[in-house]
Amino acid sequence: MTSNDTSVSRRSLLKAAGGAAASASVAGYVETGEANDVQQQGSGTVTYARGNDSGTLDPQNTTSGEDVKVTNQLYDTLIEFEPNKTTLQEGLATQYSMDGTTVTLTLREGVTFHNGDEFTAEDFVATYRRFTDSDYQFYPGDSYVSAYGPFTLGNWVESVSTGGSASATTTDGGQANETDAETTTAQGGGGQGSYTLTIELDEPYAPFLRNLAMFASSVLSRRAIERHAQDQNFSLSNQPVGTGAFQFESWDTGNQRIRLSRNPDYWGEGPYVNEVVFTAIGSNTTRAQTLISGGADIIDGIGAQASQIVRNADAAELVETQGINVGYLAMNMARREEFRSKKVRQAISYAVNTEAIVNTIFRGIAEQASQPIPQKVLGYNESIDPYPHDPDRAQQLLEEAGYGNGFEFELATFKNPRTYNPSPIQAAQTVKSNLNEVGITVNINQQPFNPFLTYTEQGKHDACFLGWMTDNADPDNFYYALLHPQVSEDKLQQGQDWVSWDTEGFNTLDVAAWANREFMQLTEQAQSTLDRNERAELYKQAGQLAHDEAPWVFIDHAKELRGVANRVQDFQIAPISGPLLNRVKVEG
């Protein structure tokens, strides 16, 4: 996800019937840490301070991690990630399996949405159709739904069927027992009170169960979906209705403060506090000082200086773990002819001193990147080194490409810190200085994060800083989500390795507009390969190709850092998901 602090995660271990089948079909995960023991019911308020306010509270309307931090408290998914791990466990589905192209799930009974409606299979059908089906009566429009719809569900799902009754089960063969009720399909609507789902895929797709655990697969209320489409005074973007541990109370956009209250009918663990408040503080150091003075309980978006402030404080501690993310500078080939030359892109990669950015600006909270995925993700290619800082080589390549006298372009950047880029303005100034040495003039365009995301999603940038916090710890979530245009090859121009922004179906997360056919074929083959070792080898090849073709300047993989007040108990950083605020308690 774009700066996403990722998905949702809680509760108990997988039940045997779903767990064995699921684990056999999911490849490429990494485990870190152990889940907390269950705590007794508590009270109080947790204040979570971050660098920027949310832009929407509808999980189908965003690619922003700032939005997801809040929606993760409000919504649940069918499958979840275990707390502080990247392995899967039950969520709104108590049993699940994937057998070839058939996914079957048995749903949890007795769960209610915040509006009082009971959760059933029909809610997921409505959720799926609203996100992916432009013919659906309640589809909110292409400009409203995010790019997550196609690559999470839409590109793979042939049909979604509801059927059975509360007694429906999942068998070892992966077929749902639907003898107790009529089966209905997503195309034809759903029956009342179903608790089984059968999802048929177009072809084998290795990461699909992980996709169901991503924030973008959060289950919405069917009645709320219909109301969103029919009632002009109601919008899920600012009046969310989920099944999560907390429910929405208010959003003071002027003061950038969102207030959530404890869901007394929550089906899972916790929550152990009565209230959660999300607030925005733009400055890293001010946010750290607010934590120490007692104005916040948990903070994120911590740069090198702020981390030292927290580390040296008596009233709080610095909690850290290795993140599963990447930070990069993307060159928009659709907009700038210069970037269509591989030699120009390589020249910029040689010219930008990523080692200095990581070691001098980020100061120990990140490591240099050489490829789209970090080291702990399946398919990481150990043989690839980061581009060295070599201005002479950069100048030579520019001359060979016909740009020996340089050129001028705009670098768009966000103002507020992100995990993968905690000091974006300083980093942009370094890029500007480095490229000036080889005759390239850079004009920095600084924007608040939410307008910046809109700007880049519309392809208005020449080049931009961006980054990605994994949604599911699978390499597909980097390679396909960020560097595959998600259009068929027949829509690509002959001899052209980029695609126009207005191409039908174009993936706007591919902000370089890169469309390399060999890369596309490798990542597509890896998606349908269920063997872990075979997938790893394909992604190693894709990583080498991305490095050599250089659609990005690969900058860093950053640690996840949080400042946590001493009065907060049982807070853990989740490598995927979070923040896990249903699990924390506060003293006083």
CATH number at residue 397: 3.10.105.10
Q: Which of 582, 419, 573 is nearest to 76 (CA)?
A: 582
Q: 106 in a domain, yes or no? A: yes
* Mean pLDDT (whole number) for 89-106: 96
**What local confidence, expressed as pLDDT, does residue 356 receive?**
97
Least confident window among 186-190, 258-262, 333-337, 388-392: 186-190
Token digits for 295?
């104005």
Q: Are residues 150 and 21 in the same domain?
A: yes
Determine what percent of the chain is predicted with pLDDT higher than 70. Answer: 88
Q: 245 in a domain, yes or no? A: no
- For 237, 255, 285, the CA distances from 262, given in Å and listed in that order, are 20, 22, 30
Under the banding of pLDDT at 50, 70 and 90, the label for residue 304 is: confident
Determine what percent of the chain is predicted with pLDDT higher than 90. Answer: 78
Under the banding of pLDDT at 50, 70 and 90, the label for residue 41 is: low
Q: Are residues 489 and 350 in the same domain?
A: yes
Q: 398 in a domain, yes or no? A: yes
**What local confidence, expressed as pLDDT, does residue 33 receive?**
33
Q: Residue 38: is its pLDDT beyond 70?
A: no
- For 150, 216, 375, 532, the CA distances from 535, given in Å and listed in that order, are 22, 24, 15, 5
Q: Are residues 350 and 487 in the same domain?
A: yes
Rg over CA atoms, the chain: 23
Q: 218 in a domain, yes or no? A: yes
Under the banding of pLDDT at 50, 70 and 90, the label for residue 14 is: very low
Q: Residue 414: is its pLDDT beyond 90?
A: yes
In tens, the pLDDT along 152-181 reads 998 889 999 998 433 333 323 333 333 233
CA-CA distance, 586 to 570, in Å (whole number)?
Answer: 9
CA-CA distance, 201 to 299, in Å (whole number)?
Answer: 40
CA-CA distance, 469 to 575, in Å (whole number)?
Answer: 9
**What local confidence, expressed as pLDDT, does residue 39 receive?**
35
Last residue of a domain, one of 230, 253, 277: 230
**What local confidence, expressed as pLDDT, does residue 416 receive?**
82
**What local confidence, expressed as pLDDT, does residue 211 receive?**
96
Q: Are residues 341 and 483 in the same domain?
A: yes
CA-CA distance, 182 to 167, in Å (whole number)?
Answer: 13
Q: Between 200 and 13, where is the model more confident?
A: 200
CA-CA distance, 482 to 475, in Å (whole number)?
Answer: 11
State the CB neighbour count (10 A cutoff) for residue 383: 8
In tens, the pLDDT along 186-229 reads 433 334 569 999 999 999 999 999 999 999 999 999 999 999 99
CA-CA distance, 262 to 256, in Å (whole number)?
Answer: 20
Q: Cβ distance 447 to 457 under 8 Å?
A: no
CA-CA distance, 82 to 578, in Å (whole number)?
Answer: 11
Q: Give strand pairing partners of 248.
A: 260
Q: Are residues 411 and 528 in the same domain?
A: yes
- Strand ranges for 346-387 from DSSP E: 366-368
**What local confidence, expressed as pLDDT, does residue 34 receive?**
33
Under the banding of pLDDT at 50, 70 and 90, the label for residue 456 is: very high
Token digits for 32?
């870190």
Residue type, 450: N
Q: 514 in a domain, yes or no? A: yes
Last residue of a domain, one of 196, 230, 264: 230
Q: Are residues 89 and 197 in the same domain?
A: yes
Residue 163's CATH number: 3.90.76.10
Dihedral sign, CA of 333, 339, 341, 347? negative
State the CB neighbour count (10 A cutoff) for residue 504: 7
* Mean pLDDT (whole number) for 476-497: 92
Under the banding of pLDDT at 50, 70 and 90, the label for residue 85 is: confident
Q: Cβ distance 249 to 261 under 8 Å?
A: yes
**What local confidence, expressed as pLDDT, does residue 35 receive?**
33
CA-CA distance, 193 to 117, in Å (whole number)?
Answer: 11
> Cα 63 from chain centroid?
7
- Strand ranges for 355-462 from DSSP E: 366-368, 408-414, 441-447
CA-CA distance, 237 to 241, in Å (whole number)?
Answer: 10
Q: Are residues 85 and 191 in the same domain?
A: yes
Q: Are residues 408 and 533 in the same domain?
A: yes
Q: 46 in a domain, yes or no? A: no
CA-CA distance, 29 to 32, in Å (whole number)?
Answer: 10
Q: Residue 561: is its pLDDT beyond 60?
A: yes
* Mean pLDDT (whole number) for 62-79: 96
Q: Are residues 343 and 216 in the same domain?
A: no
**Residue in this structure with the two tokens 């797709």, named with its chain if needed:** 205
Helices (H), 173-233: 208-212, 222-230
* Strand pairing report for 246-252 and 196-201: unpaired
Determine the length of the chain. 588
Q: Cβ distance 268 to 244 under 8 Å?
A: no
Q: 318 in a domain, yes or no? A: no
Domain range for 388: 325-558
* C-alpha angle 414-420-422 in degrees, rounded to nearest 5: 60
Q: Are residues 370 and 493 in the same domain?
A: yes
**What local confidence, expressed as pLDDT, does residue 143 receive?**
92
Q: Are residues 493 and 357 in the same domain?
A: yes
282 φ/ψ angles, rounded to the nearest 5 degrees: -65, -40
Domain total in the chain = 2
Last residue of a domain, one of 230, 247, 268: 230
**What local confidence, expressed as pLDDT, does residue 42 receive?**
58
State the CB neighbour count (10 A cutoff) for residue 55: 20
Under the banding of pLDDT at 50, 70 and 90, the label for residue 458 is: very high
Q: Are residues 22 and 155 in the same domain?
A: yes
Q: 506 in a domain, yes or no? A: yes
Q: Between 388 and 3, where is the model more confident?
A: 388
- Average pLDDT of the chain, as a whole number: 88
Under the banding of pLDDT at 50, 70 and 90, the label for residue 301 is: confident
CA-CA distance, 105 to 176, in Å (whole number)?
Answer: 8
In tens, the pLDDT along 209-218 reads 999 999 999 9
- Helix, strand, coil percentages for the chain (3-state, nearest 5): 30, 20, 50
Using a 10 angstrom Cβ sphere, with 0-12 exposed, 13-18 middle and 19 or more buried, the burial of residue 130 is buried
**What local confidence, expressed as pLDDT, does residue 574 receive?**
84
Q: Which of 434, 410, 422 is nearest to 331 (CA)?
A: 410
